[in-house]
Structure 1
Amino acid sequence: MGGKYRITGSTYPRMRRPRHRRRLVLAAVAAVVALGLAGWGTLQLIDVFTGGDEKAVAADHKKKCAAPKPTTPAKALPKPAGIKVNVYNATPRSGLAKAAADELKKRGFTIGKVGNAPAAYDKKVPGPGMLLGAPTAADGSFTVLGTQLPGSRQETDARKTADVDLILGTKFKAFNTRRAAATALTALTKPAPAPSSC
């Protein structure tokens, strides 16, 4: 070629289009946004699989545990003087019912009948003793009298009266000590704290 298009010297004209800065800026911004979204999505997945913000969960748990716990009111139990006890001996040992009745009387119980156990129970009570009474005695008189003789079996019958039968069994040796019985009775009359998951 000649004229004004004639190539002279060692430089050659560039044949590609000039670069546009706008495209470069848009590409860079798009890359930053894509990376940001990917990072945010990753954090969300980590929270889902690890249970979320552990500090917030721990703070909430601590707050719940610090709150005062409501207590369950203790049920009103009868006094020993308000419980009439019939003492029966179902063992071969003589005089056991009288001795047991005297001890219960010293501890404040009202004593009714004292003697040998009826034929249905004579020598048929394997444990230390059995408490027998009306169904209403199960949550009151049985509980109080049971503190005197741990391990005693409880049964109800069809009687309408409030008295309770204490049938001494073959493994009866002695009543609970007065201190241990009083401690057990005190524990029963105290309000119980509500169960907590803390």
Structure 2
Amino acid sequence: MKQGWFITIEGPEGAGKTSIIQRLTQGLEEAGQTVTATREPGGISIAEQIREVILNRENVLMDGRTEALLYAAARRQHLVEKIMPALEEGRIVLCDRFIDSSLAYQGYARGLGMEAVYDINRFAIGDFMPHLTLLFDVRPEVGLERIKAHREQEVNRLDLEALSFHQKVREGYLQLASQFPERIAVIDAEASIESVYQESLKFILAKIKSRQE
């Protein structure tokens, strides 16, 4: 059976994940790889419907635990319907967000506790984890300014949170990177798009080469 690579791209709001994933998909395919690019929450019909509920700007009363449970539900369906089948075909799966987002946003920034949120997600995904996670690190002031400058892009409920919330999100991500250095590679997302792309591609190709050897 072929074995694919599950690579997740993480980072606070405005980190530039979407743009880099598009470039990585093209770059990897030019290098002879088969790639499936997807996102969370979303990627498949059921999860996209859950995404609309989670990120709806009118749902300001949503409880933190409700939010965490909805993310986990969308993640489960996405995993079994899209990610796992692609990996079984030997494809590289590039996913915009996965479990680390829940740990940073709901576990750390919302104050639910990373262990509690991890337990919710273990029910959803078992022991399934990314082979590699690229953390696009950006100060929240920079990320939110980027979003403000590109208003034609999706502005969701999380974008409207206070600066202090986004600062906690970043703290949560950096804590995870410190805890799991063998899986999470931190990339300076305040650098140029070309620099972020090249460094991301370098990490991915090195990971692939390590298994081939």
**Structure that is richer in helix per residue:** 2
TM over 0.5: no
Question: For the pair shown, which has the larger CA radius of gyration, 1 or 2?
Answer: 1
Structure 2 length-normalised TM: 0.25
Structure 1 length-normalised TM: 0.26
Structure with the larger RCO, 1 or 2 (CA within 8 Å, 6+ apart): 2
